[in-house]
Amino acid sequence: MRARTEQSSEVDVVGTWVTADGHIRQELLPNGRYDEARGARRSAYTGRYSVTGSHIDYVDDTGFTATGDIRGGVLYHEHLVLYRETSHHP
């Protein structure tokens, strides 16, 4: 899923986003679903997301809602700051 920015370029949001300490890992899937792990707890939160511009709206499978914004390649999700995970393979 891509978000269209005000400059008419697209931001690719699909992939894994992680906090600097690695405790929270959020996978944004191409089908509009997300899966968030917290520490050793896999799939702590799952649900769907939608993108408008660089803004993301989340709806957890339990009905809880949250928001996020991508600015400068960083995902600001409520009080969290997540960075796109990059491959560490040579």
Q: Per-residue pLDDT averaged across 6-21, rounded?
A: 78
Which of helix, strand or coil describes residue 17?
strand
Residue 23 pLDDT exceeds 80: yes
Query: Can you give the pLDDT at residue 86?
Result: 82
**Average pLDDT of 64-79?**
95
Query: In terms of pLDDT, which residue wins out, 64 or 86?
Result: 64
The number of residues in the chain equals 90
What is the number of domains present in the chain? Answer: 1
Give the other-Cβ count within 10 Å of 7's Cβ: 7
Give a yes or no: residue 66 inside a domain.
yes
Residue 89 domain-assigned?
no
**What's the token pair of residue 2?**
């891509």
Each residue of 31-68: pLDDT tens digit? 999 999 999 999 999 999 999 999 999 999 999 999 99
**Domain limits for position 41:** 2-84
